[in-house]
Chain A
């Protein structure tokens, strides 16, 4: 079948937070999927929540520009202080969101595709349950970056999360796939219960790195303040990580956890620390 390449012209919707809420805002409707095919005036009628009060988006934001024909053709730019706006880009499948400053919780939660770029900091639970796409944070992120939602043992499945700064605790809990790259330090619990995927910490990690981990890879460039007793060093390896090659000490673990056997060999999680 002949595949016709459509030349896409992305349309940009600019939201400016001009009338901030008193408590908080839940902005799960702010996704390219919801904006696609809508004129600015229609976008302004989409729901956002402040506690139990439902209000139109236009009550809080000024909306400029129309959505593209599809999600993939829609770019959303958020201006103003969105420190208290949650759930931007939640469950998005395509398109692009640029947040000029900070944003609150659940940014890019359960996202399946497209790209989110946050130029400031984000709060907790960003990229949780992620399946695809890209979430880029220029600042810091709080806790549960790329972790699984509570009680969900099938965590992040795919996609890329990049946090230039540091992260709080519980990064990549129950990770199953995808990649998380942290430019700075990580607090306790990295890839706890991990069953796949890759996490790179370019700074230091405080501890509990790979606890109860079954499969998957972790790279730590700095030091691990409190390494776990369940990880055993097995050698040194040279590996290419995020475009650069370096020498790493290779550990396997968590030896306390169950591990599958594949082709007669036990599969362990790998922890690499830079030498």
Chain B
């Protein structure tokens, strides 16, 4: 008899659908069916038991091939790399649980590493805008139950977050939004006429890279000022018309994506979107939300902000001082400037996502990949440590894009012997402590610290 597991969370995108029903084979080893998930969500489950999985860590040999080694040997190798490096970088965490992130932070602090997550090449600019300008946000439940005007700006949920529109924004019938789609106005702002733009009532084809100017125009109009005839490719009349809709909404949410975070100006595009949201609250209730990509990429921001006060790009090389300044302590910049001498890629694929020059720089030094699957990063690594898939084989806490924590469950066991991200990091931490103790034992009388420490 196959078994149905209900209320399963989907470990793929930031929508974090938690209404999946997964059918597991009799022996609990195979996933037979996944209900309610979108096509991508479906795939992530079937992928787990569909093909051959890596079951042991693999270490690169002098002849270039991989050789299977034990977890103990892999942990020892990783700990030694971190211990010897002057400035190691631990990056990723798009696809793991908060427990793994907390354990990794312990390792980073002990190793004096830079700790960064995929926000660095994604919504990191949103954090910078929030630091500068606040974040008048809400939960997705509030949007579903209250919003009558929805703006998607530089985001294409039809492809990137397939169930976002049906679960939370455009289509659902909520408490005060009983008519569903019929009672909502949808505005899409994007240089490309995307599939999301297809369902919009109003589509503004902003000139690529000029969102900031368009926001500025909206703000000026909301405050009753004149603006030029055309701004960022949009006619004045249309800007005035849309500004009027925004002001007359009962409750509105601006959902924004990479179109703001990763076009010229980045954090400033988000920053001025926040300013507009705030302005609109002089008239009615408006909120703004980042369309976070992976199912738990909001997690490291929550976990590390709690641990260190910063959500990403954490330079912990001074151990007792956390320093954060993207542009300097961000993974790509560190790689491009050749500032790091060891790299751990965890729960992401830097091999695929980083610019090739950054990869080349990082590859001059030891590169370790911790990932359930074979990916580009795992194939260019010195060491690949396989782990269980969070949300399928490993349970844990994840944060949805609106900062709501959700307890994910597992539906099957990981392949025999394969451990979790959390356990990998806990064991690396333990080994680092041992290495430190060995070092201390070697030189019992430590010389007094040289020189005077600045700022003390």
B435 to chain A, nearest CB (A): 14
Chain B interface mostly: loop
A52 at the interface (CB under 8 A from B): yes
A125 at the interface (CB under 8 A from B): yes
Say yes or no: A51 contacts B228, CB within 8 Å: no
Distance of A230 Cα from B340 Cα, bound (Å): 43
Known: A23-B341, A208-B265. A47 touches B216 (CB 8 A): no
Distance of A256 Cα from B277 Cα, bound (Å): 12
Contact of B452 among A22, A47, A149, A228 (CB under 8 A): A47
Distance of A54 Cα from B264 Cα, bound (Å): 37
B142 at the interface (CB under 8 A from A): no
Distance of A54 Cα from B454 Cα, bound (Å): 12
Residues of A within 8 A of B318 (CB): 49, 52
B227 at the interface (CB under 8 A from A): yes
Residues of A within 8 A of B206 (CB): none
A11 at the interface (CB under 8 A from B): no
Residues of A within 8 A of B216 (CB): 211-212, 228-230, 254, 256
Say yes or no: A124 contacts B327, CB within 8 Å: yes
Contact of B217 among A22, A193, A229 (CB under 8 A): A229
Residues of B within 8 A of A229 (CB): 213, 216-217, 220, 227-228, 231
Contact of B268 among A24, A56, A150, A211 (CB under 8 A): A211
How many pairs of A and B residues are in contact by the CB < 8 Å rule? 137
B200 at the interface (CB under 8 A from A): no
Known: A57-B451, A188-B264. A52 touches B327 (CB 8 A): no
Known: A23-B341, A150-B326, A255-B220. A47 touches B212 (CB 8 A): no
A93 at the interface (CB under 8 A from B): no
Say yes or no: A256 contacts B219, CB within 8 Å: yes
Q: Which of B192-216 contact A (CB under 8 A)?
A: 210, 212-213, 215-216
Q: Which of B80-123 contact A (CB under 8 A)?
A: 85-87, 111-112
Residues of B within 8 A of A51 (CB): 85-87, 112, 317, 339-341
Q: Mark A204-238, 1 if CB is under 8 A from B, else 0.
A: 00011001100000000000001011101000000
Say yes or no: B225 contacts A232, CB within 8 Å: yes
Chain A interface mostly: loop
Closest chain A residue to B128, Cβ basis? A150
Residues of B within 8 A of A189 (CB): 265, 268
Closest chain A residue to B338, Cβ basis? A23
Distance of A85 Cα from B81 Cα, bound (Å): 25
Contact of B87 among A28, A52, A56, A257 (CB under 8 A): A52
B325 at the interface (CB under 8 A from A): yes
Distance of A23 Cα from B85 Cα, bound (Å): 11
Q: Mark B337-363, 1 if CB is under 8 A from A, else 0.
A: 111110000000000000000000000
**Most chain B beta-carbon contacts within 10 A, residue among A51, A226, A228:** A51
Residues of A within 8 A of B111 (CB): 52
B19 at the interface (CB under 8 A from A): no
Distance of A57 Cα from B35 Cα, bound (Å): 63
Contact of B454 among A28, A151, A208, A256 (CB under 8 A): A28
Distance of A49 Cα from B112 Cα, bound (Å): 12
B272 at the interface (CB under 8 A from A): yes
Number of interface residues of B (CB under 8 A): 51
Closest chain B residue to A105, Cβ basis? B328
Closest chain B residue to A87, Cβ basis? B454
Residues of B within 8 A of A24 (CB): 87, 337, 339
A123 to chain B, nearest CB (A): 9
Q: Mark B132-165, 1 if CB is under 8 A from A, else 0.
A: 1000000000000000000000000000000000
Residues of B within 8 A of A52 (CB): 86-87, 111-112, 317-319
Say yes or no: A150 contacts B131, CB within 8 Å: yes
Say yes or no: B132 contacts A151, CB within 8 Å: yes
Distance of A24 Cα from B315 Cα, bound (Å): 14
Contact of A47 among B112, B337, B451 (CB under 8 A): B451
Residues of A within 8 A of B436 (CB): none
Q: Which of A24-67 contact B (CB under 8 A)?
A: 24, 28-29, 34, 45-47, 49-57
Closest chain A residue to B225, Cβ basis? A255
Residues of A within 8 A of B337 (CB): 24
Say yes or no: A46 contacts B452, CB within 8 Å: yes
Residues of B within 8 A of A57 (CB): 451
Say yes or no: A208 contacts B132, CB within 8 Å: no
Closest chain A residue to B454, Cβ basis? A29
A202 at the interface (CB under 8 A from B): no
Distance of A256 Cα from B451 Cα, bound (Å): 52
A144 at the interface (CB under 8 A from B): yes
Say yes or no: B220 contacts A230, CB within 8 Å: yes
A121 at the interface (CB under 8 A from B): no
19 A-B pairs with CB atoms under 8 Å apart are A23-B338, A46-B451, A50-B86, A51-B85, A52-B318, A124-B328, A125-B325, A125-B327, A143-B327, A150-B324, A192-B268, A208-B268, A211-B268, A229-B213, A230-B216, A230-B217, A232-B225, A254-B219, A255-B225
Interface residue ranges, B against A (CB under 8 Å): 85-87, 111-112, 128, 131-132, 210, 212-213, 215-220, 222-223, 225-228, 231, 264-265, 268, 271-272, 275, 279, 317-319, 324-328, 337-341, 449-455
Which 3 A/B pairs are nearest by Cβ-Cβ distance? A256-B219, A51-B87, A52-B112
